[in-house]
C-alpha cells in the first residue's frame, strides 16, 4: 500500500486534518499552476475571502524573491499560498514588515510539529536544515492607495524530494524534510500544521505589537551571530557581523572597517553566511 506521504493530495484529506477557524476552509487544489501566489492573487482580486488557500501539486513558474525561480517538481513537495485580508487598524507598516518573518517562524514550527525536524531560519525568510535550504516564503501585497487590500503568504517547501533529483545548480544547496529525517512526510498533515501555525500568528499579530514577536524569530535565526556578506541595491556590498533584528524586522549588521564600520540596518538585501 502506498504511504500517505506518496499519495496525491486531496481536498478531503487536507480539510479533514484542519484545526483552523478560517485558514484553508476555502481551499483550491490544482494539479499544476504557474505559481500558487499568482493563482491566489487572481482569486483575491475576484474577492476570495480571508484565509483562502491555494495548493498545487506542481508549479511551472514557482517564484522566489526578486523574480527568482523556485524549483517545483510534481507530487512530492508543498506549494501553498494563503490570502490574508485582516489587517491591523494601526501600525500597518510594522505589521507588513514583520509578517514575512513571522510566517517563516510559523512554517518552521509546523515542520517541527508534523515531521519532528527543527529547521533554522536565514534572514529574512529562508527555511534551512543545517546549511541547506528546505523552503522559502514569498509575501506579496496588493496596495490600493495608502491601504493594503490583501497580502498573499506563499510557501514552497521541499518535503519528499530526493537530493539526487534536484537540478544541478541547487543540488549542493537544497534538501528536503524526508532527506533530513530519513522518512517520508505526510504532506496533508504538514499543510494542516502550517495553516494552524500561520492562523495563530496572524491572529496574534493583529492585536499585539509586531516587535513583540521578533524574539521568537531571533531564536530560530542562525544568521545572527554570524559573519555575513550582504548585497544591497546598486551593487553595494558589505561584510560584517549579523548582530540582531531591528523592531521593523531589518537585519542589524556591525560592519567591518573595510565596509565602513558602524551599524547598518538592512531592510532588503541578499545575505550570504560566511564561514
Tell me which residues touch ligand ATP (CB under 6 A): 64-66, 68-71, 126, 133, 136, 158, 170, 173-174, 270
**Least distance in Å: CB of 119 to ligand ATP?**
12
C-alpha cell at 167: 537540478
**Least distance in Å: CB of 275 to ligand ATP?**
16
**Least distance in Å: CB of 264 to ligand ATP?**
18
**Least distance in Å: CB of 197 to ligand ATP?**
19
C-alpha cell at 95: 505589521
Q: Which residue has the cell 502550517?
A: 194
- Of 16 and 61, which has the nearer Cβ to ligand ATP? 61
CA dist 62 and 79 (Å) reads: 8
- Of 173 and 212, which has the nearer Cβ to ligand ATP? 173
**Least distance in Å: CB of 187 to ligand ATP?**
15
How far does Cα 181 stand from its chain's mean position?
A: 20
Amino acid at each position: 500500500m502506498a504511504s500517505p506521504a506518496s499519495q496525491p493530495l486531496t481536498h478531503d484529506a487536507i480539510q479533514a486534518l484542519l484545526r483552523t477557524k478560517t485558514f484553508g476552509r476555502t481551499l483550491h487544489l490544482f494539479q499544476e499552476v504557474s505559481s500558487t501566489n499568482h493563482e491566489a492573487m487572481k482569486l483575491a482580486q475576484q474577492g476570495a475571502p480571508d484565509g483562502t488557500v491555494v495548493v498545487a501539486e506542481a508549479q511551472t513558474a514557482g517564484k522566489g524573491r526578486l523574480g527568482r525561480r523556485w524549483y517545483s517538481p510534481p507530487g512530492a513537495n508543498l506549494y501553498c499560498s494563503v490570502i490574508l485580508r485582516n489587517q491591523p487598524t494601526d501600525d500597518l507598516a510594522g505589521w507588513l514588515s514583520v509578517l514575512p518573518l513571522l510566517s517563516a517562524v510559523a512554517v518552521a514550527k509546523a515542520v517541527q510539529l508534523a515531521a519532528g525536524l527543527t529547521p533554522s531560519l536565514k534572514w529574512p525568510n529562508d527555511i534551512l536544515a543545517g546549511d541547506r535550504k528546505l523552503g522559502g516564503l514569498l509575501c506579496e501585497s496588493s496596495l490600493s492607495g495608502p491601504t493594503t487590500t490583501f497580502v498573499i503568504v506563499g510557501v514552497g517547501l521541499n518535503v519528499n524530494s530526493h537530493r539526487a533529483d534536484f537540478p544541478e545548480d541547487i543540488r549542493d544547496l537544497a534538501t528536503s524534510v524526508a532527506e533530513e529525517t530519513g522518512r517520508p512526510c505526510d504532506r496533508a498533515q504538514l499543510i494542516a500544521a502550517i495553516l494552524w501555525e500561520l492562523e495563530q500568528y496572524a491572529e496574534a499579530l493583529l492585536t499585539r505589537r509586531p516587535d513583540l514577536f521578533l524574539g521568537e524569530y531571533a531564536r530560530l535565526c542562525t544568521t545572527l551571530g554570524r559573519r555575513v556578506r550582504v548585497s544591497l541595491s546598486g551593487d553595494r556590498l558589505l561584510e560584517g557581523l549579523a548582530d540582531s533584528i531591528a523592531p521593523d524586522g531589518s537585519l542589524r549588521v556591525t560592519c567591518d572597517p573595510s565596509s565602513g564600520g558602524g551599524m547598518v540596518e538592512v531592510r532588503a538585501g541578499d545575505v550570504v553566511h560566511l564561514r
